[in-house]
Structure 1
């Protein structure tokens, strides 16, 4: 009996009547991923760039969240063609590629997610969870329907090239990363600097004007609302490890006052 895969994040965003709200899963833990999947949020970003994830832990997290009504987006560590092939073969349907700075970068990653003649993705569907070991009927012919590609705009150069990047055939949307963008603009650690915020909003407007969905990382409520008002259609508002770090600090501070806490008026940054 043929199997059917879940709708892609591209399809979910096209059908949504509001911005989709999600969170990072950076712990590498399938258990934590499953806890987050049952939260009522719309989507999860499972991170392979800045987290202690392997191919084995990525697939375990995909399996853990599969039972829940939430859409996983998975970030690869780089736009390397071989890495993208491996993630897709694991069954990653929604891929996020970091540091896409130019139209050429976008063309390369769009090619990496597609089978020939449209791209260069290696063919191994009979061996891979992506096609459920060829239990998904005509997976090779329909793979474009089952995979969505999102690229990260996270440098000043990428913001300048946002229109060209978002216009590439095969790129389904963009995600703006304020942390690396701030660093590239000379404002390391200042994601809410006015010039950084303006650049983020410019990238959002440019991408939205082309009819492509655009997301953003925004852990602060006010800045998240600002970016939603600017046109962001999917927003990350927290991370598993940050929630645990800040929550455990608050718990300790409630019972164990220390000199360090007494002298620290500013909370630690969570992104």
Structure 2
């Protein structure tokens, strides 16, 4: 058995735009539904969701049957959480709240086995197909992809330094947290925030690393794509469910 290819990482390297969707509802059912919807990638979120480490295992299994890439977001940039998610078979991680090159370097070390990193070695994991991939430890790093979130004004000032870290494949802008850090909580569409995001995308692209963002505004998503975002999430499962449910209720004279 051979090491699975990380199609998402290959696409970013080739400069092919990847359109994604956010999965915040725990369990394999919604994850599988979204996996078959036609997106390039689906984000399995454990930071702002009820989803936890045990849930991720089954969700990764559900998504694996479809031609879509799974990206997993841990609760935080933590060596133990990273190790567990990688052992479960996650190949691409999106780490929240990375503020500096030093924090990015720590994440890279957590992704890599010694002597280049500190990831703990276990032979019987889903990642190695329970030992059926004989050279997993030697080659795992080739197909792992690390994305880091820059989501404060302070982090945006460090874009070039973070992007220069070997092992960082992409930088993702978090509009909501950025807006709050800039004094505009709940208003990611404030002109100052939009200007900062536009500038950040251009700077990330200039470094040669992939730029990413999540926005539920289709027009702004297209704007970001024009600026050069390589991995762009355009929907969230719970937001889509709420909107569809509200529209249906209104169609029958119910709801607000």
TM-score, with structure 2 as normaliser: 0.97
Alpha carbons 1:27, 1:52 under 8 Å: kept = yes
1:53, 1:201 → 2: CA distance?
31
Alpha carbons 2:92, 2:146 under 8 Å: kept = yes
Displacement of 1:16: 5.0
Who is 2:12 aligned against? 13
The equivalent position to 2:205 in structure 1, one of 198, 205, 208, is 208
Gaps of 5+ in 2: none
Who is 1:177 aligned against? 174
Alpha carbons 2:101, 2:162 under 8 Å: kept = yes
* Larger deviation, residues 201-210 vs 5-14: 5-14
Determine helix, strand or coil for the equivalent of 1:74.
Answer: strand
Alpha carbons 1:8, 1:147 under 8 Å: kept = no
1:16, 1:245 → 2: CA distance?
34
The equivalent position to 1:84 in structure 2, one of 78, 82, 85, is 82
Alpha carbons 1:8, 1:93 under 8 Å: kept = no
Displacement of 1:210: 1.2
The equivalent position to 2:132 in structure 1, one of 122, 135, 142, is 135
TM-score, with structure 1 as normaliser: 0.91
Displacement of 1:233: 1.0
Who is 1:151 aligned against? 148
Structure 1 runs (4+) greater than 6 angstroms displaced: none
Gaps of 5+ in 1: 262-271
Who is 2:50 aligned against? 52
Alpha carbons 1:159, 1:202 under 8 Å: kept = no
Displacement of 1:218: 1.2
1:255, 1:248 → 2: CA distance?
11
* 1:245-264 matched pairs, under 5 angstroms: 245-258=242-255, 261=256
Alpha carbons 2:201, 2:229 under 8 Å: kept = yes
CA RMSD of aligned residues (A): 1.2
Alpha carbons 2:3, 2:136 under 8 Å: kept = no
